[in-house]
Structures are given as structure tokens and as C-alpha cells.
Amino acid sequence: MKPDVAQVLVDLAGRVARNAAPQIPAAQRAGELGLSAMLLGLAAEMWDGAAEILVQENAALRGLLASGARVSQDNARRRWLVELAGGRDGSLRLSALQGANAELRVALIALHAELERRDDPEAKDLEADIWRELVAGAERRRLSGSPV
């Protein structure tokens, strides 16, 4: 989730403090505080589950990349996938988990594109697995007020 929650909270704190000043026009104050409140609500919901979601997703992606390392027909990609699939989340800091998640997603996109170009059953099976995980990931990240 970008922008980072912590950075946004710092910004909102300053914004709320500024809106406490009596000379702020009422309409501006209402608009800024209303939006700030909405973002605080989103932050609260995302914050609680953020680490768990990333840990689950990173584990699922490493599993797919390990399968990809066996199936890929590109030697360089196989080595890349083996390396990423063997990684682990050594830190539970969100920034570290997000960094790892981004690396894994980049590799997944490359693997997915390769599998789409192939017709063999092994590739199609793994492609189906990737779609299942993409759907599951979107479900994990779903917010309670999501319009979809």
C-alpha cells in the first residue's frame, strides 16, 4: 500500500493541527477534516492486517516461483526464480515485507508472461495456479468498504 501509512499519518497529524486554528474557513476545515477522517479509517483497517497479508502473499509467491523454476524454459529466469523462491521474510517490518513482495511480484509477472506464450499442460497448470493466487491476493487485500 502506497503511499506508506506512517508517512500519511504524519501528514494528517499536521493537517489536523493546522485546521484547529480559528481563522481556517469553515468549508475548508470541513472538507479537510472529513477527508482526513476517511483516510484515518482506511489506515486503521489496513494497518492491522498489513504484515499478515504480506507474509501470506510472499509465501504463496515463493511457492509459485519455485514451481516456475522447474517449469520455465529460460535458463536465466530459472536461476532468478530459484534464488527468489529460496528467500524468506527475515524481518516483519512493513517496509522489508513490501520490498520483498515487490521483487517477488516482478518475477511473477515475467513468469506469468512466459507461461501465457506456451501451450504445454505444465505451463497451463502453473498459469492457472498463478491466477488462483492473484484472485486470492486481491481477496486478502480487500477493504471492507471496497466498491468491488
CA triple 81-87-88, angle to 5 deg: 145
Look up residue 102 and give its three cell numbers: 515487490
Candidates 18, 93, 124, 142; binder of other proteins (CB under 8 A) is 142
Place of cell 515485507: 97
Angle between helices 75-85 and 94-116 (to 10 degrees): 150
Give the residue, chosen from 109, 120, 122, 125, that forms a contact with other proteins under the rule CB under 8 A: 109
Spatial separation of the C-alpha atoms in residues 129 and 11, rounded to whole Å? 40
**Contact with other proteins (CB under 8 A): which of 47, 50, 89, 105?**
105
Binding interface with other proteins (CB under 8 A): 1-3, 7-8, 11-12, 15, 25, 27-28, 30-32, 34-36, 38-39, 42-43, 46, 98, 101-102, 105-106, 108-109, 112-113, 116, 130-131, 134-135, 138, 141-143, 145-148
